Chain A
Amino acid sequence: DTGVSQDPRHKITKRGQNVTFRCDPISEHNRLYWYRQTLGQGPEFLTYFQNEAQLEKSRLLSDRFSAERPKGSFSTLEIQRTEQGDSAMYLCASSGLANEQFFGPGTRLTVL
């Protein structure tokens, strides 16, 4: 299966700790997106990469959040000093030129 993969699938952490998530896109896709989804809501855009360049970052995104895509392949999303309000499902998607975004299974973060 060559779909989008995310690791870990679940993460439980204590408030104030740092966490890092990884996303591996579909191999031929040059665009990679991060979204966040809370219960009962649709996914909300966080940030977007074209190859290794981060083209857009949501204004709603706190400075505690940072994302990288160092070689234009996999991406990492780091949250520093986690807060209980960060608890959510973090979704990664990738697309080629047609902007048909295919999503990974997500990482469910629980901050205690």
Chain B
Amino acid sequence: AQKVTQAQTEISVVEKEDVTLDCVYETRDTTYYLFWYKQPPSGELVFLIRRNSFDEQNEISGRYSWNFQKSTSSFNFTITASQVVDSAVYFCALSAANFGNEKLTFGTGTRLTIIP
């Protein structure tokens, strides 16, 4: 069975601070995908990133960066120089990488509040 744990329920930081959202996962699959989604107050889930389990390179996209460590089953997300528009609930998710078994298993989310 797959499981995603986001231990941080809520985080508040002052604007321009850096913030890291933690994600730990469990799976028996040898190949899998990891995801991050953003859910702003409007409610629609916004896709941020997908990583393959065989690719442990960290990724940077603008102010966003992701640190994937297979040894600790973690896929953490860092926002640099946070902005008020980053305020949202962030979900980490996991899926198998084989055909027909690609449903997403989500964590419970981390509510991030950026204080102006």
Contact = CB atoms under 8 A, between A and B. Distances in A.
B84 to A, nearest CB: 22
Interface stretch (A14-22, A37-45, A78-86): A37-45
Contact of B43 (A44, A55, A106): A106
A65 interface: no
B108 A45 contact: no
A101 B44 contact: no
**Chain A interface mostly helix, strand, loop or mixed?**
strand
Q: What size tier do the contact residues of chain A reach? A: 20 to 34
A51 B91 CA distance: 27
Given A42-B106, A56-B100, A91 B95 contact: no
Nearest to A41: B108
Interface residues of B, number: 25
A47 to B, nearest CB: 9
Interface in B57-94: 91, 93
A66 B108 CA distance: 26
B105 interface: yes
B102 A42 contact: no
B47 A102 contact: yes
Given A33-B103, A50-B100, A99 B50 contact: yes
B100 A55 contact: yes
Contacts of A99: 33, 50, 95, 97, 102
A43 B90 CA distance: 12
Contact of A45 (B43, B44, B47, B104): B104
Top 9 nearest A-B pairs by Cβ distance?
Answer: A42-B106, A103-B45, A45-B103, A105-B44, A99-B102, A55-B100, A100-B50, A42-B91, A43-B106
Given A42-B4, A98-B50, A99-B97, 5 more contacts: A33-B103, A33-B104, A42-B109, A100-B47, A101-B104
Interface of A: 31, 33, 35, 40-45, 48, 50, 55-56, 89, 91, 93, 95, 98-106
8 contacts: A31-B102, A33-B103, A40-B109, A42-B91, A50-B100, A56-B103, A93-B45, A101-B47
